[in-house]
Amino acid sequence: MSKPIDRRDFLKLAGLGGVVFASGLPGVTLGAGQDDFYFVQLSDAHWGFEGPPNPDAKGTLKKAVAAVNSLERQPDFIMFTGDLTHTTDNPVERRKRLSEFKEIVKDLKVKTVRYMPGEHDASLDNGKAFQEFFGATHYTFDHKGVHFIVLDNVSDPRASIGDEQLGWLAADLKQQKNDAPIVVFTHRPLFDLYPQWDWATKDGAKAVDMLMPYKNVTVFYGHIHQEHHHMTGHIAHHAAKGLMFPLPEAGKAPTRAPLPWDPAQPYKGLGFREVDADTKAADNKITEFPVVKA
Amino acid sequence: MIFGKKTLRIVAAATVVTIGSLGAYVAAQSAEPKEKVIKITAKKFNYIPGEVKLKKGVPVILEFRSQDVLMGFNLPDFNVRADIVPGKATRLRLTPDKTGTFVFLCDIFCGTGHEEMNGKLTVVD
Ligand SMILES: [Cu+2]
Ligand SMILES: [Fe+2]
């Protein structure tokens, strides 16, 4: 049996994009002697971005890697939910950014790292460059009894999943029992969070409808660079913070431009915050969300 | 955020925005319009003009042309969208049924400035 999470690690975890314990997922029941496990969701690294919203644009991703590496008990795997790179119109530069990103995250101690694209990586070439570096843009995998589905709603520049992929999703779901624990990763939200800012997926409702008959589904996504929690029926949707710049809350600013950097609170709103485990105050920073609705 | 079954449980106030159109009538490419035609040019990465003023209840034709690549026009509050294909005019008929200021945006990812490609529609009584 691996070591349980100690308090120090737990506090560090509070600073990461998204930390998901299997025991917190609906439908997961751990048998006697069976370990809980956790994975980390990292999102929106926007490698290649430069500008005042992040004066440490070249250092932030590396700090996130170091923050994960400093955990005594390592996660089972890490999932990057898209926008690994910041968009560029130049296909050569796009590949350069993807390759630099890949090089940096190679330093993660966790060897199982999975990727999916965001619209910044994939929308200008239908995911071609992304696939050269990271393979498929939609796929499934199973881990310790949980079924994971990675959905691509960014390779189509119109922010759609598309009928072909929806057909693939239907076929995959058919193989699952209706009480199987299922986790879905997407980049954009599958529900209409705020279409005025492109915080939606055109045919996302079709995917949600397909997932509805399954009792234990949880969706994790990125794109909006902030935490957000929403229910569609019994399905919870959770957004993770980004690693480059935070965005305003939906509709709370005239545009979806990045929030300004605050020199008094550097890295505020980013999902890799290092939490000092020795201070009492750090306890207050832990926010937990029940994945299962009581 | 941490997802688990441990102690502190805080439920965030989710911002839920429902969009819906209450009878905004849209017909793409209508033939011989009698309505006022408002020409809007789309180019990387803005709409010209970026602000459109309309009167509630008065139908208009929005006529779009792209100067470079394929663009989209999306006005979520009225459930209206169209592709703007370079080399041809795209027409949308719109009768605004509510007043206020509404965002429209390009909804086909078009390049580095895509996220800034949006505009404002103001509807007055
Ligand atoms: Cu994104
Ligand atoms: Fe992003």
Rounded CA Rg of chain B:
18
Assigned domain for A34 exists: yes
Neighbours of A11 (CB within 10 A): 20
Which residues lie near ion ligand 2 (Cβ < 5 Å)?
Answer: A 44, 83
List the single residue in B with minimal CA-CA distance to A252.
B15
Question: Could you give the 3-state DSSP secondary structure of residue A280?
Answer: helix
> H helices of chain A, where?
7-13, 60-69, 91-105, 119-122, 128-134, 163-174, 204-211
Neighbours of A105 (CB within 10 A): 22
What is the pLDDT tens value at each position of chain A, 294 positions in all?
456 677 778 778 878 888 898 888 999 888 777 778 999 999 999 999 999 999 999 999 999 999 999 988 899 999 999 999 999 999 999 999 999 999 999 999 999 999 999 999 999 999 999 999 999 999 999 999 999 999 999 999 999 999 999 999 999 999 999 999 999 999 999 999 999 999 999 999 999 999 999 999 999 999 999 999 999 999 999 999 999 999 999 999 999 999 999 999 999 999 987 655 444 444 444 555 544 433
Interface test with A, best of B1, B5, B112 (most A CBs within 10 A): B1
Tell me the C-alpha distance between B3 and B26, whole Å.
Answer: 44
CATH of the domain at A220: 3.60.21.10
Q: CA–CA distance from A80 to each of A46, A64, A99 (Å)? A: 11, 12, 15
The order of strands in the sheet holding A146-150 is: A139-143, A146-150, A181-185, A216-221, A235-239, A228-232
CB contact under 8 A, B17 and A229: no
pTM, rounded to two decimals: 0.89
CB contact under 8 A, B2 and A159: no
Tell me the C-alpha distance between B124 and B98, whole Å.
Answer: 8
Q: Looking at residue A3, what DSSP letter applies?
A: P
Domain spans of chain B, in order of start? 1-32, 36-124
Neighbours of A279 (CB within 10 A): 11
Overall domain count for chain A: 1
Shortest distance, CA B37 to any CA of chain A (angstroms): 24
Tell me the C-alpha distance between A139 and A161, whole Å.
Answer: 13
Neighbours of B53 (CB within 10 A): 12
Shortest distance, CA B46 to any CA of chain A (angstroms): 14
User: Taking a C-beta distance cutoff of 8 angstroms, is the pair A15, A274 a contact?
Assistant: yes
CA of A120 to the centre of ligand 1 (A): 6
CA of A15 to the centre of ligand 2 (A): 19
Relative to beta strand B90-94, strand B60-66 is: antiparallel
CB contact under 8 A, B4 and A250: no
Q: Domain B36-124 is in which class?
A: mainly beta
Assigned domain for A51 exists: yes
CB contact under 8 A, B19 and A249: no
User: Taking a C-beta distance cutoff of 8 angstroms, is the pair B21, B96 a contact?
Assistant: no
Tell me the C-alpha distance between A50 and A245, whole Å.
Answer: 10
Q: Which domain holds residue A27?
A: 7-290
**Residues of chain A contacting B4 with CB distance shorter than 8 Å:** 19-21, 23-24, 38, 288
Shortest distance, CA A282 to any CA of chain B (angstroms): 13
Assigned domain for A202 exists: yes
Shortest distance, CA A179 to any CA of chain B (angstroms): 19
Assigned domain for A1 exists: no
Assigned domain for A2 exists: no
Question: For B77-123, what is each residue's pLDDT tens digit?
Answer: 999 999 999 999 999 999 999 999 999 999 999 999 999 999 999 99
CB contact under 8 A, A157 and B16: no
